[in-house]
A and B are shown apart, each in its own frame.
Chain A
Amino acid sequence: QQQVKQSPQSLIVQKGGISIINCAYENTAFDYFPWYQQFPGKGPALLIAIRPDVSEKKEGRFTISFNKSAKQFSLHIMDSQPGDSATYFCAAIDNYGQNFVFGPGTRLSVLP
């Protein structure tokens, strides 16, 4: 029940295209859902996050869509650029927990 599932494992997108990464969870106590971006040789960095009281959050080219009833959330990267090539992790935590539960990651490659 603590698991966060993430798909796809890897994704190849042409420059200018839309990248979509999906995550699903079981624990209904989760109330905070961040996305992290990790470049080779670097630690994960917070990209964007959402709470379940909203269905969508947009920051620049990055949008989180959240479906509370389906217990799913997704990251959309509009106008994908080669510089977006990285590994993306979704995560979840409940307000009483110590442990952010991470998905296994999606390796995104944006072709020039």
Chain B
Amino acid sequence: ETGVTQTPRHLVMGMTNKKSLKCEQHLGHNAMYWYKQSAKKPLELMFVYNFKEQTENNSVPSRFSPECPNSSHLFLHLHTLQPEDSALYLCASSQVSEVTRSPLHFGNGTRLTVT
């Protein structure tokens, strides 16, 4: 069982579809993240949940909607996406306290293709 599990691994969706990405972490961490990875671009932070509260929304379009029901699960709900949203979506977790922060632990991502 890997530390951070993402499903599905691949997703093809039309621009009018609604789908959700799922992430589960088994590391006991208290913070979870969504990153977007596009070719030849730095990893882009989308959302951060710290103690289940969203603490950062990096100017992400409203067609992406995160949900964090507990500290182990994170979802990314998708609707009316655009072709330029095609990318690898990575979930990560870390342990955050007032004095320190552990490194990010990533899942293997969901390869999303919007047609």
Chain A interface (Cβ < 8 Å from any Cβ of B): 4, 9, 32, 34, 36, 41-46, 49, 89, 93, 95, 98-105
Contact = CB atoms under 8 A, between A and B. Distances in A.
A34 to B, nearest CB: 5
A95 B55 CA distance: 15
B55 A98 contact: yes
Contact of A105 (B42, B45, B50, B104): B42
Contacts, number: 54
B66 interface: no
Interface in B78-110: 90, 92, 99-101, 103-109
Contacts of B105: 46
Interface of B: 4, 6, 40-43, 45, 48, 50, 55-56, 58, 90, 92, 99-101, 103-109
A103 B44 CA distance: 10
B51 to A, nearest CB: 12
B56 A44 contact: no
A44 B35 CA distance: 11
Given A42-B108, A45-B106, A98 B41 contact: no
B104 A46 contact: yes
Contacts of A44: 43, 90, 104, 106
Nearest to A46: B103
B42 A99 contact: no
